[in-house]
Amino acid sequence: MKHRGRHRRRRRGAALRAALAGTALALTATATIVSASQATVAEDPGALKPLTSTTDTARLRLREHLVPRRSLDRLASAMGGTVGIADVLENADHTLREAADCDSDDRDSLPVTPAADEAYCWDPTDTLTDDWQPASVTTSSEADDDGLWGANRVVLAGWTHSTTSGPAASRGLARIAVVDANDPAHPSYAWVLLTVPSTDGSTYRGLSSQISGMAWYEDKLLVTTTLGSADALYVYDLNRIQRTSVLTDAVGRVRGGWSADGFRYAMPAVASYRFAAGACSESGAPCPSALSVDRGTAPDSLVLGEWTAADSKHRARLWRYAFDENPQRDGLLATDAAGRADAVEAYRTGASEIRGVLSYRPPGATGSEWYVGHLPGAMDGHGSLWRQDTDGAHGSRCGSDSSHRCWAAGTGSLSYAPDTGEVWSVSDRMLFSTPLRSIDASLG
């Protein structure tokens, strides 16, 4: 259940909420038009090809692994109990700055076309070095379709620490910025470190993983893991956030209490999903890189996109799993008696280096449109954004320029908010949103 007073207000198609809609920022003038070196037209990813054979769909089967409840309860008891999102927001001590107050390098990372409506750069204390990088985003609009979590509008942004630079104890760790988005003019945030509890619940370790994809549904947060990991997804319960008592770079039980790499909050995983076909590979199980929630299906579903290199001969997959409708399994995937989750829809796409994916069915349409954000051929510069279906693909163009490299620089994941009509994402420097209607207009 939603933490303390969850309310389910099913209001699909509700009027846009003013809290985050705001007045469109004049960002186009400050965005740097794609440079000549990036001006080559991105390869059209073409139409989606449905995957229907047993051989193809079997590779998408997941197995669920739940952390024993007694282990989670033991850890929570030892750490003095659990807290929820509202408790974290009350202690938000970092501030996001509106785009007008950000430097030009920050603003230059925003999309060229379509322009962002809301855009923020991070607290300078969090961007002094490039050791930590944002890559994923999700919001309370994915979690519950009234757009709120309890009484709060919340954005979560996933960051991963470099594996080669910075303090050795922090390398590879993953953290979540819990953003108070109630007042779009003064958003603030606090950090929560993602952890993995020991089998017996006596301690925990840091989640060492590239969380390029993240989705929030009901009270669960699902995140992608490092490519090649045995676990494809980790699951977190947002009612099981725990306070630390020692601010050191250690992670887990330490002399005098509990530490989480210097952060005041830690959140232990409650489950994971592994592909029955094994760790991801080009010829076997996929390598998930992007996640989002689709509330336009029945039941609601988790949407995934696969990472493939630009020069790979393997075509990436887009697919979805249904969420379980059992209230005792809020936020978990629908599984059979053996704990297996099968994809309910799957496609091949010509897109490569996928960093974001959305699925949306327009009112009155018989099928879904798939939106894919990616960086063709490079991991720097502006990315591209395409809308695909089984008939073809459409990409935004940079004004009169022939280039499709109009999306954000270092483009991150995509998260759709049905209650406001916005799509949230992150560049390598900023958090931003733009209306889905603006994206569609830019795609023609």
Between 226 and 207, the higher pLDDT residue:
207
User: In this predicted structure, what is the pLDDT of residue 188?
Assistant: 98
Q: Are 27 and 310 in contact (CB under 8 A)?
A: no
- Residue 410: pLDDT band with limits 50, 70, 90: confident
User: In this predicted structure, what is the pLDDT of residue 51?
Assistant: 97
In angstroms, rounded to a whole number, what is the distance separating the alpha carbons of residues 68 and 156? 26
Whether residue 134 has pLDDT greater than 70: yes
Whether residue 35 has pLDDT greater than 80: no
The C-alpha R_g of the chain, in whole angstroms, comes to: 20
For residue 12, being part of any structural domain is answered with no
Whether residue 68 has pLDDT greater than 80: yes
For residue 9, being part of any structural domain is answered with no
Phi/psi of residue 101, each to 5°? Answer: -100, 5
Residues forming a β-bridge with 94: 189
For residue 99, being part of any structural domain is answered with yes
User: In this predicted structure, what is the pLDDT of residue 380?
Assistant: 62
The least confident of 4-18, 142-156, 187-201, 371-385 is 4-18
Whether residue 227 has pLDDT greater than 90: no
- Sheet containing strand 430-435, edge to edge, reads 97-98, 118-121, 430-435, 422-426, 414-417
- Residue 30: pLDDT band with limits 50, 70, 90: very low
Give CA torsion, residues 215, 343, 11, 92, to 10 deg.
-10
317-358 per-position pLDDT tens digit = 999 999 999 999 999 999 999 999 999 999 999 999 999 999
Tokens of 394: 């459409």
In angstroms, rounded to a whole number, what is the distance separating the alpha carbons of residues 266 and 178? 12
Bond into 114 cis (ω within 30): yes
Determine the 3-state secondary structure of 237 from DSSP: strand
Residue type at 348? R
For residue 118, being part of any structural domain is answered with yes
The least confident of 114-118, 365-369, 417-421 is 365-369
- Residue-number span of the structural domain to which 165 is assigned: 27-443
The number of angstroms, rounded, from the C-alpha of 203 to the middle of its chain's C-alpha atoms is 27
Q: How many residues would you count in the chain?
A: 444
For residue 45, being part of any structural domain is answered with yes
Q: CA angle, corner 316, sides to 138 and 155, nearest 5?
A: 5
Determine the 3-state secondary structure of 294 from DSSP: strand
DSSP string, 191-236: EEEEEEE-TTSS-EEE-BS----EEEETTEEEEE--TT-S-SEEEE
Phi/psi of residue 415, each to 5°? Answer: -140, 120
Strands 265-275 and 188-197: parallel
User: In this predicted structure, what is the pLDDT of residue 365?
Assistant: 84
Q: Are 223 and 212 in contact (CB under 8 A)?
A: no
User: In this predicted structure, what is the pLDDT of residue 404?
Assistant: 81
User: Average of pLDDT values for 10-38?
Assistant: 36
- Residue 223: pLDDT band with limits 50, 70, 90: very high
User: In this predicted structure, what is the pLDDT of residue 366?
Assistant: 84
Number of separate domains in the chain = 1
For residue 18, being part of any structural domain is answered with no
Whether residue 143 has pLDDT greater than 50: yes
Closest-CA residue to 276 (of 336, 199, 365): 336
Whether residue 21 has pLDDT greater than 80: no
The least confident of 220-234, 317-331, 409-423 is 220-234
**Please, which residues have CB within 8 angstroms of residue 364's CB and are 6 or more apart in sequence?**
none
Whether residue 33 has pLDDT greater than 90: no
**Please, which residues have CB within 8 angstroms of residue 419's CB and are 6 or more apart in sequence?**
11, 14, 16, 17, 141, 145, 146, 147
In angstroms, rounded to a whole number, what is the distance separating the alpha carbons of residues 215 and 303? 9
Chain mean pLDDT for the chain: 88
Give the pTM: 0.90
Tokens of 345: 């829809």
**Please, which residues have CB within 8 angstroms of residue 429's CB and are 6 or more apart in sequence?**
105, 106, 109, 121, 122, 127, 409, 410
In angstroms, rounded to a whole number, what is the distance separating the alpha carbons of residues 230 and 65? 12
Closest-CA residue to 296 (of 390, 367, 355): 367
- CA 192, 196, 198, 200 torsion: positive or negative? positive
162-211 per-position pLDDT tens digit = 999 999 999 999 999 999 999 999 999 999 999 999 999 999 999 999 89
User: How would you class 218 by CB atoms within 10 Å of its CB: exposed for 0-12, middle for 13-18, buried for 19 or more?
Assistant: buried
- Residue 15: pLDDT band with limits 50, 70, 90: very low
User: In this predicted structure, what is the pLDDT of residue 216?
Assistant: 98
| Region label for 147, one of left (φ > 0), alpha (ψ between -120 and 50) or beta (otherwise) | left
Measured CA to CA in angstroms, residue 220 lies from 177, 251, 340 at distances of: 16, 22, 18
User: In this predicted structure, what is the pLDDT of residue 187?
Assistant: 98
Three-state SS for 104-161 is HHHHCCCCCCCCCCEEEECCHHHCCCCCEEEEEEEEHHHHCCCCCECCECEEEEEEEE
For residue 16, being part of any structural domain is answered with no
- Residue 403: pLDDT band with limits 50, 70, 90: confident
For residue 336, being part of any structural domain is answered with yes
In angstroms, rounded to a whole number, what is the distance separating the alpha carbons of residues 115 and 385? 13
Instruction: Return the percent helix, strand and coil in the chain, to nearest 5.
Output: 15, 35, 50
Tokens of 403: 């280039």
76-127 per-position pLDDT tens digit = 999 999 999 999 999 999 999 999 999 999 999 999 999 999 999 999 999 9
User: In this predicted structure, what is the pLDDT of residue 19?
Assistant: 36
User: In this predicted structure, what is the pLDDT of residue 376?
Assistant: 57
User: Average of pLDDT values for 312-319?
Assistant: 93
User: In this predicted structure, what is the pLDDT of residue 107?
Assistant: 96
